[in-house]
Amino acid sequence: MDPLYDRLARELRECIVTGVYGAGERLPGVRTLSRTRGVSVATVLAAYRRLEDDVLIEARPRSGYYVRNRPTKAIPAPARSAPAAQPSPVTGQELVLSLVKASNDPAVVQFGAAVPDPSFLPVRTVERALARAARQHRNRAAAYAFPPGLPELRRQIARRMSAYGCATGADDVVITNGCQEALVLALRAVTRPGDVVAIESPTFYGLLQALDSLQLEALEIPTDPVDGLSLEALQLALERWPVRACIATPNFSNPLGYCMSESRKRRLLTLLGARGVPLIEDDIYGDLGFGPRRPPPCLALSEGTGAEVLYCASFSKTLSPGLRVGWLVPGHHQARVEYLKYVLNMASPTVPQLALADVLHSGGYERHLRTVRSDYARAVGRMIEAVTRHFPAGTRITQPAGGFVVWVELAPQVDSLRLAQLARAEGVSIAPGPIFSATQKYRNFMRLSCACPWHSDVETALARLGTLTANLSIG
């Protein structure tokens, strides 16, 4: 059962989404709500904090809590997903390569791959750090940084992680080639070919390809765009199937964008801990929340739950996807993961590690985060507003609490694979729904990346996408 504050937060969210409390309006005072609902002041504060983290409300000093000026009422979010609850091999991922290749084509308007446009990245800061790294560390820059990776970068990462509640030391971190390699290494450490892995549905296609390449079966668990992975469905699945690992993105999942509440994160950990199923946590978007607080990852909440967490992340969405620097905190699989990493590619490139250690040490990372989080929030708000204007009635869209993608549900008769083809012929890329499912569900869904510079061409491209969608919906 969800705690009281979660239930109160859900009720208030409903009131905001249905317009009972409109944009810019003041919510009831904390003491008033505590009295009228018969709950403690701490419960009301926790519920308001949850809504702040979901970017639905904001606290104004000495004035109270207000509904944010976002078009929350304009289009509802898609309903909780309902995938078939049985394991299956991953199919239909061949399409993805053409999607990611399109992301390198400057002539294409990029709503497809979740790759930030350079205008969202601290390109100059990284460039200077790379030059400094090559100059100042000439000999080290030329040497391998064997697993677990460059000590000063691991120290910087551990320091950051401890600031958001993880008891992680530098020796617990393994540097990887991006988050993708971290996920693959984590999977290889805890599974064997043929094993069943529980995943969110819809989920990031790179993860599906990892499962496919390791010959693992995917068990797609229903997932809600606000609450995340359905714990009830997961519990049933764990009772029924021999699940060897569970993978989740509790902070700003791709593509749904939800942030799981702390109480649900704890319940997830307890559920998995009781059955000895490790959680592979993908926290790649964890630093990109729109709310006032950095949400703790499951790793920070795992003590006392009995759960084992293998934590994966990278700097690809914040600093530079091209540097290919990520990391894994593999817990007691450390030795095995270091060995697997060595076998796979011996080491991650040294110069990017030196450069990123420098960017973190100098405070450049935190400074960039302060601006980019609001840049992404604005970009997402703009996209939601534009989809509201340009797409036919009946379209639904998520209201992510962080990250930079939105998940869009189109009319049931619209085939997003066909839409992707038509759009591509006009120089626009989108990510069609079926690539986010092991079994090619979500045919009438698409994911849009909002991390593109907003100018008239982009607005025109989105309007055109809306027209193509309207044409497909009338057959």
Cα–Cα distance between 239 and 243 in angstroms, integer? 9
Subset of 245-274 contacting ligand PLP (CB under 6 A): 249, 254
Shortest Å distance, C-beta 366 to ligand PLP: 20
Distance of CA 180 to the CA centre of its chain: 13
Task: Give the phi and the psi of residue 214 in degrees, each rounded to 5.
Answer: -95, 10
Q: Is residue 400 involved in binding ligand PLP (CB under 6 A)?
A: no
Cα–Cα distance between 261 and 6 in angstroms, integer? 8
Subset of 367-396 contacting ligand PLP (CB under 6 A): none
Q: Is residue 350 involved in binding ligand PLP (CB under 6 A)?
A: no
The DSSP letter of residue 148 is T
Kindly list the distances between the CA atom of residue 397 and the CA atoms of 105, 380, 408, 430, in Å, as whole numbers in the listed order: 27, 11, 4, 15
Q: Is residue 282 involved in binding ligand PLP (CB under 6 A)?
A: yes
Shortest Å distance, C-beta 183 to ligand PLP: 6
Half-sphere exposure of 116 (CA within 13 A, CB side): 24
User: Which position among 87, 149, 206, 228 is part of the footprint of ligand PLP (CB under 6 A)?
Assistant: 206
Q: Is residue 43 involved in binding ligand PLP (CB under 6 A)?
A: no
Using CB under 6 A, count the residues that bind ligand PLP.
14
Kindly list the distances between the CA atom of residue 262 and the CA atoms of 26, 50, 252, in Å, as whole numbers in the listed order: 25, 9, 13
Q: Alpha-carbon torsion 119, 124, 125, 129, what sign?
A: positive
Nearer to ligand PLP, 5 or 442 (CB): 442
Nearer to ligand PLP, 179 or 408 (CB): 179
User: Which position among 316, 320, 334, 469 is part of the footprint of ligand PLP (CB under 6 A)?
Assistant: 316
Beta bridge partners of residue 310, listed in sequence order: 280
Nearer to ligand PLP, 122 or 178 (CB): 178
Q: Is residue 356 involved in binding ligand PLP (CB under 6 A)?
A: no
Contact 247, 208 (CB under 8 A): no
Which of the stretches 89-97, 222-230, 270-278, 313-321 binds ligand PLP when contact is defined by CB under 6 A?
313-321
Q: Is residue 204 involved in binding ligand PLP (CB under 6 A)?
A: yes
Residue nearest to ligand PLP (CB): 178
Q: Alpha-carbon torsion 352, 353, 354, 359, what sign?
A: positive
Q: Is residue 180 involved in binding ligand PLP (CB under 6 A)?
A: yes
Nearer to ligand PLP, 110 or 249 (CB): 249
**Chain position carrying tokens 């750090």:** 129
For residue 402, give both structure tokens: 């962080």
Q: Is residue 178 involved in binding ligand PLP (CB under 6 A)?
A: yes
Shortest Å distance, C-beta 386 to ligand PLP: 22
Cα–Cα distance between 44 and 29 in angstroms, integer? 9
For residue 84, give both structure tokens: 């078939």
Q: Is residue 114 involved in binding ligand PLP (CB under 6 A)?
A: yes
Nearer to ligand PLP, 178 or 289 (CB): 178
Nearer to ligand PLP, 174 or 284 (CB): 284
Nearer to ligand PLP, 22 or 322 (CB): 322
Which of the stretches 174-182, 265-273, 291-299, 353-361 binds ligand PLP when contact is defined by CB under 6 A?
174-182
Please give the angle made by the CA atoms of 99, 101 and 107, to the nearest 5 degrees. 95
User: Which position among 326, 331, 352, 432 is part of the footprint of ligand PLP (CB under 6 A)?
Assistant: 326
Shortest Å distance, C-beta 403 to ligand PLP: 8
Contact 337, 185 (CB under 8 A): yes
Identity of the amino acid at 422: L
Q: Is residue 284 involved in binding ligand PLP (CB under 6 A)?
A: yes
Q: What is the pairing mode between strands 309-314 and 326-329?
A: antiparallel
Shortest Å distance, C-beta 284 to ligand PLP: 4
Half-sphere exposure of 341 (CA within 13 A, CB side): 33
Shortest Å distance, C-beta 156 to ligand PLP: 17
Nearer to ligand PLP, 57 or 113 (CB): 113
Radius of gyration of the chain (CA): 22
Q: Is residue 110 involved in binding ligand PLP (CB under 6 A)?
A: no
Q: Is residue 348 involved in binding ligand PLP (CB under 6 A)?
A: no
Cα–Cα distance between 254 and 231 in angstroms, integer? 18
Nearer to ligand PLP, 21 or 252 (CB): 252
Cα–Cα distance between 62 and 113 in angstroms, integer? 43
Q: Is residue 230 involved in binding ligand PLP (CB under 6 A)?
A: no
Which of the stretches 50-58, 172-180, 351-359, 437-445 binds ligand PLP when contact is defined by CB under 6 A?
172-180
Distance of CA 291 to the CA centre of its chain: 15
Subset of 129-158 contacting ligand PLP (CB under 6 A): none
Contact 280, 312 (CB under 8 A): yes
440: phi > 0 → left, psi -120 to 50 → alpha, else beta; which? Answer: left
Q: Alpha-carbon torsion 32, 35, 41, 43, what sign?
A: negative
Q: Is residue 314 involved in binding ligand PLP (CB under 6 A)?
A: yes
Interface residues with ligand PLP (CB under 6 A) are 114, 178-180, 204, 206, 249, 254, 282, 284, 314, 316, 321, 326
